[in-house]
Structure 1
């Protein structure tokens, strides 16, 4: 059984200080990211970071490396709806009323609740078996497998993705495993990807296209814009520290409101920092991005920045 300690007073303090933004996020980052590693180590999430993947701090000394992490950030940003979609519905399911739900294909969603509800035990489990959501916004040309296990309450809860898969026909399948912590107060959500691994597999060849890990990766939404803090792991390079640009009023990330623009960022600035360099990722309104790299070494030749780069499909 997964057991975690709910820290409601702390989450309230963090969210109440959001209007101040500068300084407040950094001062509470360690506490907000507290993880019960012992409990989580007992769970088989079904998706793992590669055993031979790099786990040291990345050098970040080339634009090739900077581009890899810029794309890893955009990859998470583009798929946020997959990680967040079921939360509101899972929290409002009335125990005992609904135990199964048919989809628009031949699969189903089974809703499970523990026989004896305890304070720190899961309160609902969503078990997907080739489930096709009938909601048009959720793309009926896709199917889901695996589990999402919810623990906590409306204001502070965890979602454990266990062997969760979402197949998007004609494109690729995402495999997701690990814990996500969500704190909400007055409609302001903060998502902490405590150690979430995301694997992308081609539907055409079953080839693994990428595996990324988001660790202590915190996303806070304020007035429809997002602030980011945490780490991204890339198997080829290791990890970098991610943060929003220094001016949190102007550098928070804005997402296109037009759903046809596939949830890509159109304003804001992200810093990607490694051992030897620091990259600045700036988003443009036409869905392109600019990328510059500043090396730490004295007298180092700084590479020319990339401008108006298109994201990969």
Structure 2
């Protein structure tokens, strides 16, 4: 038979004090002598007493949970390693703080806004992480309307009537530019970009960085295919690029899953990577080191991003001052999938 969970009454009985005094001691309130507090805490630990999240929620009108609403095709969530890594970083901070993460995956922006409203109306979350920032992002005004503390991944565009929201940002444009500079320096002149969706800020930022670096190298950024970040999209884009009369000698992908899919397509077509085609990714995922050839990529740190965002959001909820956090920029790492441009006959 399962052992009953120890209660404040059990701690009070063992300590020979009132339940009220135990409550004061456990919640670190004034009015308890230091020696008495230490004795109560020791007895609570000995009995294995743990605070009830439900009781804490009722007493302070808090849920002790933070929300993450993701508007993506579930196929992307299962194949893109960013979110599992980001969530691991979030949980690294939430678990010791006695907080939980409430995750909601929806298929469109209308459902996304409705999900935020319901989570707040039901009292299920105290704050939210806003990811995949978009142009004219309606979530920024919504969290302000709902009075919901929030932190954004990346800096949002400013919107009239919407106050500033703390951001945890990582400069990813420099990594894309490094990748293009690397390929141009190896003699590549036909460089393509398999981009993310332009409606997302990080998708458009990476596209702009690609254009900037290409023009700086004296090249035209005319080989660009927009995708939804799916590995299958990366494969389709690669087949389209390789079927053209003047195929590229290098492709810069906006994430690692698409790059790895493109690597498979190229090899299936009989091309040597990097002898005939150089490939670069973006993410720095572990699997990229173990494919053949090892993937040259732009390394970010989603675990660190998640931890930093969680710390900012927890400070906001506690009423402490917060400010934007700038993480180290993404950096290009050369491996074996990129090399000199093939010689023309």
Q: TM-score, normalised by structure 2?
A: 0.22
Question: Quick check: which one's strand share is greater?
Answer: 1
Question: Quick check: which one's helix share is greater?
Answer: 2
| Larger Rg, first or second structure (1 or 2) | 2
